[in-house]
Amino acid sequence: MRSVPRESLSVSRLSASDTRRGCSGARLLSSAHPNIAPARSAPTDANDSAGTCGKVPNVLESLIGTILSQNTTSKNSTAAKRGLDQKLGRNNFAAIAQAPKADVVDAIRTGGLANKKAGVIQKILQEVKKRHGVYSLQHLAGVLDPDAKGKAKASGDVVSDEEAMKELVSYDGVGPKTASCVLLFCLGRASFPVDTHVFRLSKLLGWVPTKADRITAQAHLDLKVPNELKYGLHVLMVAHGRRCSGCKGGNRGKGDCVLKMWLKEHRGVKDEELPELVLKAEEAA
């Protein structure tokens, strides 16, 4: 488990003075990517179960899908989730937990780091069963399994964002970013996950302190980004990070990019300074 360091919670000491004002960049990103829906919709069972952004109503499935998405592409993680569902059954958590590890590894091999991820997933499932008596984390969504025990909440009780985050990161292999994805996409909470794209672009725009790493950047942005913008801004930044070559270090910052326009207009950055800024942001991420 990698939890948020105590010092990162006092992010006011790290404040980047105009992060909130900088969120006006959401409008630019929305105009650049009009096919990306910046509004949240509730997850349903009709959602593609193989999608690994975590947008499914089952909390444990969301957590597993998000783990599969770590350090790989969306295409590969989706293939891994589909392989797991086909081999052991969608949400057949008992089968996944009790299967030989080699079977789980084989099922998710296309996602990369299969041996590590299989071990993490099986250990989480075993720990969930040990703590709560069932393979379920639905108490985090205010839903109680009739066989639940231990610290699982009573049906209908509201679990705070802080309580949900605390439980999720208490499982080995679940860091703040993974937990934040579950909060945002599955539980519908106002949380702001910082992945490689969000971190790189936040560094480029100066929205986070210079020395911030991903964990402190997430703690900082989670406080500074207005709740009503968190979902839309996150999905737009991820989409932009994947699609735009104009603000990537590998392209030395060449090409058009709405964020570079923002830097020139709002930060007074000169054209000749942009390539270095882009490279520094890429290196930091």
As a 3-state breakdown, the chain gives helix, strand, coil percent values, each rounded to 5, of 60, 0, 40
CA atoms within 13 A on the CB side of 4: 27
Residue 4 has pLDDT above 70, yes or no: no
CA atoms within 13 A on the CB side of 284: 26
> Same fold for the domain at 6-40+192-284 and the one at 59-186?
no
Task: Report the C-alpha gap between 149 and 147 in whole angstroms.
Answer: 7
Contacts of 132 (CB under 8 A, 6+ apart): 139, 145, 148, 149, 150, 151, 152
Residue 50 has pLDDT above 80, yes or no: no
Every domain of the chain and the residues it spans = 6-40+192-284, 59-186
Q: What percent of the chain has pLDDT over 70?
A: 80
pTM (global) more than 0.95: no
Burial class (CB in 10 A: 0-12, 13-18, 19+), 259: buried
Q: Examine the residue annotation and report whether 177 is marked as an active-site residue of this protein.
A: yes
Task: Report the C-alpha gap between 49 and 68 in whole angstroms.
Answer: 13
Name the H helices within 46-99.
Answer: 59-68, 74-88, 93-98
Task: Please tell me which residue in 55, 117, 177, 230 is annotated as part of the active site.
Answer: 177
Confidence of residue 21 (pLDDT cuts 50, 70, 90): low
State the CB neighbour count (10 A cutoff) for residue 91: 18
Which CATH number among 1.10.1670, 1.10.1060, 1.10.10, 1.10.287 corresponds to the domain 6-40+192-284?
1.10.1670
- Report residue 11 as tokens: 């992010």
Confidence of residue 31 (pLDDT cuts 50, 70, 90): confident
Task: Report the C-alpha gap between 38 and 35 in whole angstroms.
Answer: 9
pLDDT tens digits for 225-249? Answer: 999 899 999 999 999 999 998 888 6
Q: Produce one character per residue of 73-82: b if its CB has 16 or more CB atoms within 10 Å, e if not.
A: eeebbbbbbb
Residue 252 has pLDDT above 50, yes or no: yes
pLDDT value at position 2? 44
Q: Does domain 59-186 have CATH number 1.10.10.10?
A: no
